[in-house]
């Protein structure tokens, strides 16, 4: 006799699977974006554009799933926190996807003049790596329910914030050397800003995961302090 499973359990499992899909989708967008910016592989730009539509659709679908679960099953405790955390996460994921798309747009226009030295001056390749690691961290943390893994993103986000603070000075230094490069320097600053925002959003996702499992609200606390 098969184990009998309720509609609620089915729906929660489906929601989990779909959220994992969305995180992976967004992570791959950034892998492509890094390919595009750091490896100068500009074919990826089109792929990023088309995938963006899918991400938007997924956000709507996940929101609808959450709405249905709340309306039909009135979940409590862990299930409720799970649904609430997913609702928050979809917004963040969709925005992260948006950032990938706008990076792609900027590359479309300015890719010729962005040199490897310029990128490395801002630390952009490393920022990309960190961002992708962070997305990987939350993807696994979400799937396995591993809040320690989720916490790994906090120091990485600190790195992204630091790079963001330095960007201003780097930009001014580079501009003094080659004023002609200004459009590309400005583009690079945009990349840094966006990557820093992505770091914040992934951090939000990590906090949602921790909320789900530990019922602990992480916002507005000192993130580096261990519980």
Question: Which three-class secondary structure string do you get for the chain?
Answer: CCCCCCHHHHHHHHHHHHHHHHHHHHHHHHHHHHHHHCCCCCCHHHHHHHHHHHHHHHHHHHHHHHHHHHHHHCCCHHHHHHHHHHHHHHHHHHHHHHHHHHHHHHHHHHHHHCCHHHHHHHCHHHHHHHHHHHHHHHHHHHHHCCHHHHHCHHHHHHHHHHHHHHHHHHHHHHHHHCHHHHHHHHHHHHHHHHHHHHHHHHHHHHHHHHHHHHCCCCCCCCCCCCC
CB of 132 to other proteins, least distance (A): 23
Q: In this complex, which beta carbon is closest to other proteins, that of residue 68 or of residue 112?
A: 68
Q: In this complex, which beta carbon is closest to other proteins, that of residue 55 or of residue 134?
A: 55
CB 152 within 8 A of CB 190: no
Q: In this complex, which beta carbon is closest to other proteins, that of residue 7 or of residue 116?
A: 7
Residues 1-40, one symbol each (x = binds other proteins by CB under 8 A, - = not), give xx-xxxxx---------x--x-------------------
Q: In this complex, which beta carbon is closest to other proteins, that of residue 52 or of residue 137?
A: 52
Q: CA-CA distance, 154 to 35, in Å (whole number)?
A: 25
Residues 33-72, one symbol each (x = binds other proteins by CB under 8 A, - = not), give ---------------------x--xx-xx--x--xx--xx
Q: How many residues bind other proteins (CB under 8 A)?
A: 21
Q: Which of residues 69-88 bind other proteins (CB under 8 A)?
A: 71-74
Q: In this complex, which beta carbon is closest to other proteins, that of residue 20 or of residue 121?
A: 20
Q: Which of residues 96-115 bind other proteins (CB under 8 A)?
A: none
Q: In this complex, which beta carbon is closest to other proteins, that of residue 8 or of residue 140?
A: 8
CB of 226 to other proteins, least distance (A): 37
Which residues contact other proteins by CB under 8 A? Answer: 1-2, 4-8, 18, 21, 54, 57-58, 60-61, 64, 67-68, 71-74
């Amino acid at each position: 006799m098969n184990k009998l499973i309720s509609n609620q359990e089915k729906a929660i499992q489906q929601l989990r699977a779909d959220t994992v899909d969305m995180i992976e989708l967004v992570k791959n967008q950034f892998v492509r974006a890094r390919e595009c910016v750091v490896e100068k592989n500009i074919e990826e730009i089109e792929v990023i554009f088309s995938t963006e539509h899918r991400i938007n659709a997924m956000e709507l679908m996940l929101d609808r799933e959450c709405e249905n679960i709340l309306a039909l099953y009135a979940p409590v405790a862990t299930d409720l926190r799970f649904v609430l955390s997913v609702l928050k996460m979809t917004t963040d994921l969709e925005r992260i996807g948006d950032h990938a798309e706008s990076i792609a747009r900027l590359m479309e226009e300015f890719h010729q003049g962005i040199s490897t030295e310029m990128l490395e001056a801002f630390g952009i390749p490393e920022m990309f790596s960190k961002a992708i690691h962070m997305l990987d961290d939350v993807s696994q943390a979400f799937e396995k329910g591993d809040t320690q893994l989720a916490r790994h993103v906090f120091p990485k986000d600190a790195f992204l914030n630091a790079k963001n603070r330095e960007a201003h000075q780097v930009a001014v230094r580079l501009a003094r050397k080659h004023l002609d490069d200004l459009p590309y320097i400005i583009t690079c600053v945009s990349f840094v800003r966006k990557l820093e925002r992505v770091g914040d959003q992934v951090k939000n996702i990590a906090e949602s995961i921790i909320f789900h499992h530990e019922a602990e609200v992480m916002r507005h606390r000192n993130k580096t302090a261990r519980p």
